[in-house]
Structure 1
Amino acid sequence: MTVPLSILDLSPISEGADAATALRNTVDLARHAERWGFSRYWVAEHHFVAVAGSSPAVLIGHIASATERIHVGAAAVQLGHTTAVATVESFGILDAFHPGRIDLGVGRSGQRRREANDDRKPPPPARRTEWLEIDGVVVPAPFDIRTLMRNPVLKARMGVLQQPEAKTPDFATQVDDILAMLDGTFTADGHETHVVPGERAPLRPWVFGSSKGQSAEVAGSRGLPFVASYHITPATALDAVEAYRNAFRPSAALPEPYVVVSADVLVADDHDTAVHLASSFGRWVYAIRAEGGAVPYPDPDSFEPLSPEQAEAVRDRTATQFVGDPDEVAHRLDALRRVTDADELVITSVTHDHADRLRSHRLIAERWGIG
């Protein structure tokens, strides 16, 4: 069974390049993705690091203007750093210019960081320590994100993404507000309030999540599509899919669950070339986890190798990156599709050289048969 294939792009800045080049590369890849048959082109939201996609709505507008048919969306708007009304208004503008092509992805990333920093919360239950393999899909032991979230550099940076003393509503409340704003039933302190543009726009939130927690429950209980991030949290993505399906209640927009699962992918003409191009991936992930955020993507010909201890700290990500020739990667993608019963897969690929990233996407598109 072949399911649709989509792209998630971080607009990564390569070593020796700059943000402007990364953004031009994103638009170039989107143009190619449309020709190659990809269904959607998602852009991420990150701040203060060497990826250029810090403002999804702005970038989506440029991509949609440079393409004709492909859906373009946010993966995802971090609701912990903004408001429901700002989100609906900005995506309402995008839909007005590109009707029917805009996908509104939302996530609770900013809220999760604040919760991890809250020392008043009880400690989480003991974490699974063993690695599993389910029908060809590697499910590693969970990475403890609490250490990352308590990094003082990260805490300081996250603090400037909101107005001083601002308090973010609960994620479920924000999603409910977005739904009410879109369907014209929103009230503010009991007063009928209409969001223009945005109201009655054919937008449907896509909820992005990483575990069996609130995001999966909100997506399921509201009858919304759910995107599980196997590429970031391979240890808990399958649990997230199960929790979403268990919580699902049909909605007017979605009578049955719709599951999308992400994967890190790097394809080359042959296995050895792919392995070489992916060799600096672990160094990049280590910087994200231990050095305050993503650094310019290292050149595989000249990067500093990780120590054994550093390599172990990112083994869950390197072991779950799908690297190889088109047949090898397609086989692993199909296993992920089969195990999760995904309705759609989304791939994210990072390389130092833009030409290698283009080739990776073209090769898997041809092998997957979406063109």
Structure 2
Amino acid sequence: MIQLSVLDQSAISKGSEAREALSQTVRLAQEVEELGYHRFWMSEHHLESLAHSSPEIMIPHVAAHTKKIRVGSGGVMLPHYSAYKVAENFRLLEALYPNRIDLGVGRAPGGIPIATAALQEYKQTNGDIFPQQVEDLMYYLTGSQQPNHRFPGLKAMPEITTHPQIWVLGSSGGSAGLASSHGLSYAFAQFISGQDGSGVVQHYQNSFQASALQTRPKSLVAFFFVCADTDEEAEWLAKSYDIQFLKVAKGEKIEGVISPEEAAQYRLSGFDQQLIEENRAKVLVGAPSTIKEQILAWKQRYGTSEFMLASMVYDFDVKRKGYRLLAEEFGLK
């Protein structure tokens, strides 16, 4: 059985504004819940073209406007923060919305260098602290039973009988190894790397070690997608995606998601065409039956049954329709 989930970045379409994008995020969560999608995650990206960088604030807002869909972070960029504070935030969210909260954590900066510098101002760190932070999260969320920990007996409050699901996010073997050795769920971000991570995910599954939080491996794979009634229409809509990420790769200013009509006017060099072709490894494009065929093929390669889909379609109504068409194709309800 295939499970479909949603990653929403609250992207601002050119000519719109942040408040509208935030409102659309809530509306999308409500609609995909009705359609039968499994999770709704929100990202942390410190970029002007996206309406927010605080999934921990958006999560309770979206959870309050939905009923049962799992809501989470995709993800919290943990090196910017105190693991203890993150654990407290998500323990409180789990208390408010039991068995609905996912805590996805990553080590990427999630933004431009100047934003990273501001987030980590006055923090003294040596080397990669992400693995230790993941261990600390588990410690604070499972009852603080390690007598030799730096902060013995310190718990994330409030004390409750359930805990958020912890997901390690990544696009490399290092993050997969961290998830498997600590007994945590793993989300592979093909929509970021464009690399076939099937070997990484299968290694995670085969080397998984049970933990106090989780006894079996759980994985998902994330793609961008563009779905429409026909392959031809989907290809037209995908022009927005192609030019958006071409500009990112070339370091050009992004003023929001552009329309396919504007994207079609962008003059492309041979190098540009090559970059667009490479970026297409991150996105599923086509009619519902075409994308279903692609997902089923990736299911066999990855050995996983959950796929998380993010959309950068310019028009919100067209974006909603894409999620609806795919849900109907898979018979999610």
**8 Å contact from structure 1 (residues 43, 53) kept in 2:** no
The answer as to 2:131 corresponding to 1:172 is: yes
Partners of 1:201 and 1:328 lie apart in 2 by: 40
3-state DSSP of counterpart to 1:175? helix
Residue 61 of structure 2 aligns with an amino acid whose one-letter code is H
2:167 is aligned, of 206, 216, 221, to 206
Identity of aligned residues (%): 31
**8 Å contact from structure 2 (residues 192, 282) kept in 1:** no
The structural deviation recorded for 1:279 is 1.0
2:228 is aligned, of 268, 272, 276, to 268
Unmatched tracts of structure 1, length 5 or more: 114-148
CA offsets 1:186-205 (integer angstroms, 9 cap, x no match): 67635422222366542231
3-state DSSP of counterpart to 2:272? helix
**8 Å contact from structure 1 (residues 281, 318) kept in 2:** no
Residue 129 of structure 2 aligns with an amino acid whose one-letter code is D
CA offsets 1:6-44 (integer angstroms, 9 cap, x no match): 011111110111111111111000000110000000111
Unmatched tracts of structure 2, length 5 or more: none
3-state DSSP of counterpart to 1:207? strand
2:314 is aligned, of 346, 352, 355, to 352
The structural deviation recorded for 1:91 is 1.1
| Pairing 1:79-94 to 2, within 5 Å after superposition | 79-94=78-93
TM score, norm. by length of structure 1: 0.83
The answer as to 2:18 corresponding to 1:6 is: no
3-state DSSP of counterpart to 2:271? helix
The answer as to 2:60 corresponding to 1:61 is: yes
Residue 14 of structure 1 aligns with an amino acid whose one-letter code is S
**8 Å contact from structure 1 (residues 181, 199) kept in 2:** no
3-state DSSP of counterpart to 1:58? helix
Residue 361 of structure 1 aligns with an amino acid whose one-letter code is Y
Greater fraction of residues in helix: 2
The answer as to 2:302 corresponding to 1:340 is: yes
**8 Å contact from structure 2 (residues 234, 285) kept in 1:** yes
1:193 is aligned, of 132, 140, 154, to 154
Question: 2:199 corresponds to which residue?
Answer: 239
**8 Å contact from structure 2 (residues 284, 291) kept in 1:** yes
The structural deviation recorded for 1:53 is 3.2
The structural deviation recorded for 1:78 is 0.3
TM score, norm. by length of structure 2: 0.92
The structural deviation recorded for 1:70 is 0.4
The structural deviation recorded for 1:236 is 4.7
- Count of aligned residue pairs for this structure pair: 328
Partners of 1:295 and 1:357 lie apart in 2 by: 19
Partners of 2:8 and 2:242 lie apart in 1 by: 18
Partners of 2:194 and 2:133 lie apart in 1 by: 27
Partners of 1:65 and 1:71 lie apart in 2 by: 12
The structural deviation recorded for 1:316 is 1.9
The answer as to 2:208 corresponding to 1:248 is: yes
Partners of 1:62 and 1:32 lie apart in 2 by: 15
**8 Å contact from structure 1 (residues 84, 174) kept in 2:** yes
| Pairing 1:131-146 to 2, within 5 Å after superposition | none
**8 Å contact from structure 1 (residues 182, 200) kept in 2:** no
**8 Å contact from structure 1 (residues 229, 261) kept in 2:** yes
The structural deviation recorded for 1:298 is 0.9
| Runs of 4+ residues over 6 Å off in structure 1 | none
3-state DSSP of counterpart to 1:94? helix
3-state DSSP of counterpart to 1:264? strand
